[in-house]
Structure 1
């Protein structure tokens, strides 16, 4: 993947990799007609560091930005406190806010009405948002790279997956992400096969279980390793996901050059797991089929998950049966979103099922694996900190030799694999049906809409167009 200019016409990076100067396109307008300038860029990044806006997690990841300096109306310079090997990562996944909308004493950042009626600069503009029902976008005639071909995009919450699929067959939907079972059993139906193209691609994401490494029993590496040997994720992938997902071994995307190709999924080995548990002091001392420590306390693990269904529901049930084979009791704690978040932030669990969306470059590893800088809120959800990993993370962002960066990433993944503070589960596949009328649609691991040009250059030949 390459970085391409959009709001900026061009940029320069100084020799020391401590400054980036952006030259903005002239005439770029927000969808309310106001021109975007350097003031908007500076304001958007200044917002991150304002404690009133509660963006400490983002501020932590941008801590090396020393100053954002306006040179003139269309030129803005970012000055860093240290050289940055991945300097452009600070700009590829962060959106520019309209300063004239947000810089007001009438509202706090979180309560600004623009949060529900967003003003942007993209190829489409929001015209309707009906919560839990639909979002309607229309072509932005003033889009700085030219009006998109499509007149309108409507996102619809179609109900459950079965209802959505029936509506697809009736021609009510043009694009539909489908469930694994639908992909496997229904996409060969003539009315689907003849009219829809199938797109499958691995997303920049992974699912995993974070273990609470700060208390028994998961503070013991041998117990964590035993769980890895009991998980049998290859078989689960075939049983539940028909082999459509990919078993994860690390937090790096398998298509990334930073992915450690030497790591393989743990083999399913109940006897090896029992041996590790025995070495950790857990044995079946009373003949009930479950193992206990020296004081007779059973090895019980509470796994926190969300009531979302899918992977968050299926995997814990599967693991419960597998762990039982080595005498481990797995208790599944299913919580709604609010309680789930509170328990997770307080480390009120033994393990928690979670997922990450990631970037093509490894800069996100710092957020995942480093201790919080200033705030109690952290993306390092189990507060696992390894001194050796931390040293490499601190060097990674300042390593300008590509081989050195790859080596750091390989070593970090190797430590995680051996220590098992996380049980990495799967890299998920996106499974999407798209009507064959549409042309120039090019999915990527970022999805169909987030990458450039996304939907801006998608079109339908005139003879195949439908009119309202």
Structure 2
């Protein structure tokens, strides 16, 4: 086994999305310039670094110094190391304790089962009450993976066993001790849900064959076959995978939809909730002696991307918020006393077409709709409401995605040309619906968010004017929207599939494929295609990048033909803002990549002076 030491963990793991490459020095006949960066770790988060250029020849060494001023966040050994373990703490030298942190929260949630949710309405308000096996470090924009309930872990040489070693003495909020049985019960609920239960992150653990507990403080995940370690570790580090008490899961048969206050092990404990806010209070018995710093958190319900969300931050109703409208979030730090950051997520957005319903069960109709819908215009209509970017099926920033210029040449992805619209009409006639005659009126399921309330009427008009297809808009709250899409209670809906690391193996099958014998939980189009699933299987097993890209090209061709969904975006930016009272955050004006993570708040303190 390859042991990951917590004493060296932060320097070993730099980021999920960046890799560092090093080579051994070798003698060379020509002079070689080597840049050496020396950093001295102090008890401060910002340092001045000297960069030294060393010119080396075979027998003569000449050093040339030049001073480079650079702001660096240094992650020093974070807190007690009696057992060589990592403990989260703020990087500030003299933090204050106490006070109430007021957060802008998108909610309230319609239910409380995190395993069955992909909405920030749940994650944003509940995550501070729970812990995970691993986590992302919120103090720096590289958000490296660091320990949480697991103080260390091993990966077997064959890549098929992940072994986690749990901290001892961790208590649930009701006083019971955490053991490996609780971790196993949590992941059995996620990976192997009983019939009738939804697990929206099951797809990230498809390779896991079993969860084993050799003793009370060791958990092993045994894989059927190897998977990329960065993708697996990103899954274990996701804040969405809260560790839940086994007794609670057993008592409720795995269904926590109506249980809002079940005990966690996190830095904050449930206090109350109502139609205005969700309140949690400091866990005075938290296993981390450093945290938390604040006494209380109030999650204030606000609607994403609205003027009210921005006004609440600027007016002092909230100290921090996310989902700022782009027109406000892009420059919120220009206002005195405020800071900003941009969360980038690997997001593939689409118009889902329910292929099980009349009319939409015909691929000719779906292809016609794909040709007629102007995705770039749909994105343009909300450019000041939500931070999204038009694109194809595969997420941007990866070797699998087409560039914008390449996408602009492809019918069904680009803005429709006259030829595209003529072909769409021909396909509708071939399917038996000339100019939309006899086609059923579509149920256009729409979330009650500003972006969807703007985009869906535009989509409705395109279908009617170009193909004669009528549709009726049906508004739904966020959590109900998820239920209806999962259950197939709609005809057309705007949706997306998220990736933890930008690899199609962790989001593409989830969006369009089957997981075992069942539809994957994010396959809202309810599309089954053997060729697609076989190509995905080949992709998951392939390690050569060029061959993987070739497979994604075949996948794209298939999706353009079958059209289970219409691609709209392949990148998302979420704008954060916070006032100067909030300390311990990553540096102002940071860009970072996660899947809506960093909602534990155990590293944050308040300076109300």
2:462 paired with 1:322: yes
Q: 1:247 to 1:401 in 2, by over 3 A?
A: same
2:522 paired with 1:382: no
SS of the counterpart of 1:42? helix
CA contact (8 A) 1:207 1:355 kept: yes
Residue in 2 aligned with 1:286? none
Q: How far is the alpha carbon of 1:390 from its aligned partner?
A: 0.9
2:219 paired with 1:76: yes
SS of the counterpart of 1:155? strand
Matches within 5 A, 1:223-262: 223-242=365-384, 245-261=387-403
2:444 paired with 1:304: yes
Equivalenced residue count is: 447
2:510 paired with 1:367: yes
CA contact (8 A) 1:372 1:380 kept: no
Q: 1:159 to 1:272 in 2, by over 3 A?
A: closer
* TM-score, scaled to structure 2: 0.62
2:186 paired with 1:44: yes
Q: How far is the alpha carbon of 1:407 from its aligned partner?
A: 4.6
Residue in 2 aligned with 1:267? 414
Deviation per CA, 1:334-358: give whole Å up to 9, x if none: 1546986786566565422233443
SS of the counterpart of 2:531? helix
CA contact (8 A) 1:60 1:373 kept: no
CA contact (8 A) 1:150 1:459 kept: yes
Residue in 1 aligned with 2:319? 174
For residue 7 of structure 1, the aligned residue among 145, 149, 154 is 149
SS of the counterpart of 2:382? helix
CA contact (8 A) 2:373 2:459 kept: yes
* TM-score, scaled to structure 1: 0.79
CA contact (8 A) 2:436 2:469 kept: no
For residue 537 of structure 2, the aligned residue among 394, 404, 407 is 394
Residue in 1 aligned with 2:138? none
Which whole-Å CA distance do the structure 1 matches of 2:268 and 2:436 have between them?
63
2:328 paired with 1:183: yes
SS of the counterpart of 1:282? helix
Residue in 1 aligned with 2:496? 355
Residue in 2 aligned with 1:287? none
Deviates more, 1:406-415 or 1:390-399: 406-415
2:240 paired with 1:92: no
2:290 paired with 1:152: no
Q: How far is the alpha carbon of 1:63 from its aligned partner?
A: 5.0
Higher strand proportion, which one?
Answer: 2
CA contact (8 A) 2:326 2:575 kept: no
Q: How far is the alpha carbon of 1:43 from its aligned partner?
A: 2.3
Which whole-Å CA distance do the structure 1 matches of 2:196 and 2:519 have between them?
15
CA contact (8 A) 2:353 2:491 kept: yes
Matches within 5 A, 1:17-56: 17-48=159-190, 49=192, 51=194, 54-55=197-198
Which whole-Å CA distance do the structure 2 matches of 1:70 and 1:255 have between them?
38
Q: 1:328 to 1:82 in 2, by over 3 A?
A: same
For residue 332 of structure 1, the aligned residue among 459, 466, 472 is 472
CA contact (8 A) 1:127 1:138 kept: yes
Residue in 2 aligned with 1:288? none
Q: 1:345 to 1:146 in 2, by over 3 A?
A: closer
Which whole-Å CA distance do the structure 1 matches of 2:481 and 2:302 have between them?
26
Which whole-Å CA distance do the structure 2 matches of 1:399 and 1:159 have between them?
43
2:566 paired with 1:423: yes
RMSD over aligned Cα, in angstroms?
Answer: 3.9
Which whole-Å CA distance do the structure 2 matches of 1:66 and 1:73 have between them?
20
For residue 279 of structure 1, the aligned residue among 426, 447, 452 is 426
Q: How far is the alpha carbon of 1:308 from its aligned partner?
A: 1.0
Deviation per CA, 1:147-198: give whole Å up to 9, x if none: 134443221125894555444333221113355386289959xxx8122224
For residue 131 of structure 1, the aligned residue among 252, 274, 284 is 274
Which whole-Å CA distance do the structure 2 matches of 1:430 and 1:236 have between them?
18
Q: How far is the alpha carbon of 1:7 from its aligned partner?
A: 1.9
CA contact (8 A) 1:177 1:432 kept: yes
Q: How far is the alpha carbon of 1:69 from its aligned partner?
A: 2.0
CA contact (8 A) 2:497 2:511 kept: no
Q: How far is the alpha carbon of 1:206 from its aligned partner?
A: 4.2
Q: How far is the alpha carbon of 1:251 from its aligned partner?
A: 4.7
In structure 1, the gaps of 5 or more residues are 284-290
CA contact (8 A) 2:208 2:224 kept: yes
Which whole-Å CA distance do the structure 1 matches of 2:356 and 2:234 have between them?
32
